């Protein structure tokens, strides 16, 4: 894994030999994934929150995940950071399955940071920024080894004044708090940061600051991001690749520009048509694609069938997720029965 | 178009010199807004800029700590701010209805959702019980509630946030008020749902001729539904005019920064940084002089001390900024 030198010293240089070890079983040509999901399914009772999902999170790249509320995005986030275990399928860190033991999992989790949606709820109001950002270092026994200096450097890296050390979250508005959340997520110098709706609770002018900050941190530190949002327009701005999820399964995935300029799946097209216009004299929503009412879908059918404006007879059979050029699509119209792409 | 008052239910709104305080804190200062009957105003600003306080004052729903210390809000010929007792009770609903950002607090927790919508048809439009419920169910379907018949029999806590929000919107639409005030009611919703609800409210607004004030921090929403725009910062109205004019040629530095952040974000290639406004909005205290001066790239000598006057820069386009002063 090549990660550019950074101004931030790794807190514990020899901390990761076990997981940074050489190539594992699958030696593919593409850059090796930091985290990989292989056919992951997560059930809660009868609900399949995540359904046979495979994806790779690559060093220095952003995978944007978009879908409506309840589609399983947050469950994917929780699986990746090890807060949930899959019902079936496998998660891998640097080519090896996530360890079963809690201790083993703790070591993996060190390399995966997480930024939450609501910066007002995620930070303990009683603590100072020194405690909040330093907590992961303490928890991993890394505080004595220059912890305070590291917290200072982190606050600086996210654009907070060094004097902020002894202030509390209440001193900051949403944007400032989200900076604290990002500093904390970076405390252990992770290779991957999972961002679950990191800008949804912020004002628009502040969203721009936070997105720019995430882009800059990635450029400097070579971070991988899993960036989750219900807003395709926000996802588009930060992602190299986009994956569109419905009912826990991939509908379409591929390079950002391809997906957002030439969507192929009916659901992606509907999402894009819901993005507002930019000028009052060029309104867009009048021509939005209207989805049908959601109804239970018969087993074995396309999961999007009840909502899909283009549903047809073939859709009683679930379409496979197939490669079409540089992307993956699950829709009969695109991949099936000789219908053009 | 703006003067189609006689046709629809809407009435013109004229807010003049409105100031709202929480204790000593000036949440809204000397706000003047005018909106023609049946027109849609997009009221824009960052959190804490005073949008909701202005909206709550006009809707007569300020919390006990909030006080209107000056101003009038004429809806047609009625000053909403002076209504009391029975007149006030009747005004709520008939004259003005308010859709909050979070419906959970506004719905009655112990009454089935369908019943709450049906009550409006019964009380306000005099329908019989059965008919009112049928209307309620069909309106629930219109606001995109799946299985409206089933949902109507549910209690608010049995619905998801998005569903509660839609039920709340259904109640407000059923009231057919002269002025509808919507306080970021789609912010928490999915993009396809948000687009659906914007389209729906816009259609019904046009059908009934309702005057609509839509509060948002999203310029995309303004571009999509607003005839007029009013921009707030630090409790003051900094720019106000026809949406087309302001989008084409914003005059106030804050408005132009907001708009260039919005459009540059839309145009930016993936992973390219785009224009951001530096700094954050004021939290506890509002800066003296022009409230935007600590973040303003064009601030100059008078800005930190003198509050700029509001000037008309073109027909119906008003701006508060020292840059517009005659040389
Ligand atoms: N702990 C749990 N127990 C039972 N069901 C759950 C649990 N967590 C999630 N679910 C269900 O799994 C599905 C996916 O939920 P998830 O929170 O991952 O969606 P999401 O896309 O993140 O939604 P949102 O954007 O609203 O947060 C939903 O149907 C949800 O009700
Ligand atoms: S397979 Fe059928 S139902 Fe599914 S997305 Fe394609 S057209 Fe729509
Ligand atoms: S009055 Fe001064 S500080 Fe305020 S917006 Fe105008 S130039 Fe900027
Ligand atoms: Mg979620």
Model confidence over A232-269: pLDDT tens digits? 989 999 999 999 999 999 999 999 999 999 999 999 99
Contacts of A284 in chain B (CB under 8 A): 224
A5-9, A160-164, B185-189, B306-310: range with lowest mean pLDDT: A5-9
User: Do B270 and A211 touch, CB atoms closer than 8 A?
Assistant: no
Distance CA B167, CA B193 (A): 13
The gap from C-alpha B267 to its chain's centroid, in whole angstroms, comes to: 27
The DSSP bridge partners found for residue B222 are none
Residue of A nearest to B219 (CA): A278
User: Is 80 exceeded by the pLDDT of residue A17?
Assistant: no
pLDDT at res. B70 = 97
In our burial notation (b when 16+ CB lie closer than 10 A, e otherwise), range A201-222 reads bbbbbbbbbbbbbbbebbeebb
A236 → closest Cβ in B48, B221, B270 = B270
Under the banding of pLDDT at 50, 70 and 90, the label for residue A30 is low
Q: Is the pLDDT of residue B19 over 70?
A: yes
Q: Is B262–A285 a contact, with Cβ atoms under 8 angstroms apart?
A: no
Centre a 10 Å sphere on the Cβ of residue B313 and count the other Cβ atoms it contains: 16
Number of residues that this document lists for chain A? 341
pLDDT exceeds 90 at position B10:
no
Q: Write down the pLDDT at residue A111.
A: 95
| Mean pLDDT computed over A308-329 | 96
Confidence grade of residue B8 (pLDDT, cut at 50, 70, 90): low
If pLDDT is split at 50, 70 and 90, which confidence band does B124 have?
confident
pLDDT given at position A9: 36
A67-71, A149-153, B321-325, range with the lowest pLDDT: A67-71
Q: If pLDDT is split at 50, 70 and 90, which confidence band does A16 have?
A: very low
Are residues B191 and A232, on separate chains, in Cβ contact within 8 Å?
A: yes
**Choice between A284 and A112, residue whose per-residue pLDDT is larger:** A112
Assess whether pLDDT exceeds 60 at residue B109: yes
Contact residues on chain B for A271, CB-CB shorter than 8 A: 191-192
Please state which of the ranges A137-146, A331-340, B101-110, B163-172 shows the lowest mean pLDDT: A331-340
Q: Residue A24's pLDDT is what?
A: 35
- Averaged over B10-37, what is the pLDDT? 95
Least confident of A2-16, A89-103, B298-312: A2-16
User: For testing the chain A interface, which of B45, B142, B190 should be mutated: the one with the most A CBs within 10 Å?
Assistant: B190
Q: What is the Cα–Cα distance from A60 to A76, expressed in whole angstroms?
A: 20
Tell whether the model's pLDDT for residue A212 goes beyond 90.
yes
pLDDT at B223: 94
pLDDT at position A47: 85
HSE value, Cβ hemisphere, 13 Å, CA-based, for A93:
25
Residues 280-319 of A with CB under 8 A from B: 280-281, 283-286, 288, 290-291, 293-295
Binned at pLDDT 50, 70 and 90, residue B200 comes out as: confident
* CB A218 within 8 Å of CB A44: no
Other C-beta atoms lying within 10 Å of the C-beta of residue B160: 10
* Ligand 3 binding residues, C-beta < 6 A: B 252-253, 290, 292-293, 296, 298-299, 303, 308, 321-323
In this complex, the residue of B195, B270, B273 whose CB is nearest that of residue A256 is B270
Q: Once rounded to an integer, what is the mean pLDDT over residues A4-25?
A: 35
Cβ pair A281:B244 closer than 8 A: yes
Ligand 1 contact via A48 beta carbon (within 6 Å): no
What is the average pLDDT value for chain B, to the nearest integer? 90
**Nearest residue to A220 (alpha-carbon basis) of A258, A176, A182:** A182
């Amino acid at each position: 894994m090549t990660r550019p030198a950074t101004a931030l010293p790794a807190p514990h240089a020899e901390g990761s030999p076990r997981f940074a070890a050489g190539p594992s079983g699958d030696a593919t040509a593409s850059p090796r994934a930091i985290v990989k999901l292989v056919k992951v399914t997560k059930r809660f009772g009868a609900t399949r929150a995540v359904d046979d999902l495979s994806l790779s999170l690559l060093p220095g790249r952003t995978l944007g995940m978009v879908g409506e509320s309840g589609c399983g995005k947050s469950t994917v986030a929780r699986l990746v950071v090890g807060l949930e275990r899959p019902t079936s399928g496998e998660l891998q860190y640097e080519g090896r399955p996530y360890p079963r033991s809690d201790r083993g999992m703790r070591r993996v989790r060190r390399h995966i940071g997480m930024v939450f949606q609501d910066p007002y709820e995620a930070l303990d109001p009683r603590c100072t920024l020194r405690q909040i950002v330093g907590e992961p270092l303490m928890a991993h026994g890394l505080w004595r080894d220059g912890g305070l200096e590291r917290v200072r450097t982190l606050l600086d890296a996210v654009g907070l004044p060094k004097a902020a050390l002894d202030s509390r979250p209440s001193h900051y508005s949403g944007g400032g708090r989200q900076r604290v959340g990002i500093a904390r997520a970076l405390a252990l110098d992770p290779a991957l940061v999972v961002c679950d709706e990191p800008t949804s609770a912020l004002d628009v002018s502040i969203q721009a600051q936070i997105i720019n900050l995430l882009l800059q941190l990635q450029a400097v530190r070579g971070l991988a991001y899993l960036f989750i949002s219900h807003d395709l327009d926000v996802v588009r701005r930060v992602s190299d690749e986009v994956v569109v999820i419905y009912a826990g399964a991939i509908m379409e995935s591929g390079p950002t520009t391809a997906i957002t300029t030439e969507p192929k799946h009916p659901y992606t097209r509907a999402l894009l048509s819901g993005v507002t216009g930019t000028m009052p004299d060029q309104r867009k929503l009048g021509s939005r694609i209207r989805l049908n009412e959601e109804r239970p879908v018969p087993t074995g059918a396309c999961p999007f069938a009840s909502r899909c404006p283009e549903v047809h007879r073939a859709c009683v059979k679930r379409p496979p997720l197939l490669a079409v050029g540089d992307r993956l699509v699950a829709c009969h119209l695109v991949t099936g029965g000789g219908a053009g792409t | 178009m703006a003067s189609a008052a006689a046709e629809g239910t809407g009435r013109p709104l004229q807010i003049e010199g409105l100031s709202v305080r929480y204790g000593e804190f000036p949440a809204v200062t000397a706000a003047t807004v005018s909106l023609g009957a049946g027109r849609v105003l997009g009221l824009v600003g960052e959190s804490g800029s005073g949008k909701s306080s202005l909206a709550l004052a006009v809707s007569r729903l300020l919390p006990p700590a909030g006080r209107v210390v000056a101003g009038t809000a004429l809806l047609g010929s009625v000053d909403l701010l002076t209504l009391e007792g029975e007149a006030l009770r009747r005004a709520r609903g008939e004259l003005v209805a308010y859709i909050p950002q979070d419906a959970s607090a506004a719905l009655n927790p112990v009454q089935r959702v369908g019943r709450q919508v049906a009550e409006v048809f019964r009380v306000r439009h005099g329908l019989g019980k059965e008919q009112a419920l049928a209307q309620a169910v069909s309106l629930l379907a219109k606001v995109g509630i799946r299985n409206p018949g089933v949902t109507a029999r549910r209690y608010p806590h049995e619905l998801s946030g998005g569903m509660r929000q839609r039920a709340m919107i259904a109640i407000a639409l059923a009231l057919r008020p002269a002025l509808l005030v919507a306080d970021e009611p789609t912010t928490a919703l999915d993009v396809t749902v948000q687009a659906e609800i914007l389209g729906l409210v816009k259609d019904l607004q046009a059908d009934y001729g309702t005057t609509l004030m839509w509060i948002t921090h999203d310029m995309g929403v303004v571009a999509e539904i607003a005839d007029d725009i009013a921009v707030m910062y630090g409790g003051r109205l900094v720019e106000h005019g026809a949406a087309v004019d302001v989008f084409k040629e914003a005059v106030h530095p804050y408005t132009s920064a907001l708009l260039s952040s919005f459009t540059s974000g839309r145009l930016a290639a993936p992973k390219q940084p785009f224009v951001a406004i530096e700094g954050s909005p004021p939290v506890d205290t509002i800066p003296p002089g022009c409230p935007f001066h600590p973040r303003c790239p064009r601030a100059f000598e008078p800005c930190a001390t003198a509050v700029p006057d509001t000037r008309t820069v073109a027909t119906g386009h008003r701006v508060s900024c020292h840059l517009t002063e005659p040389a």
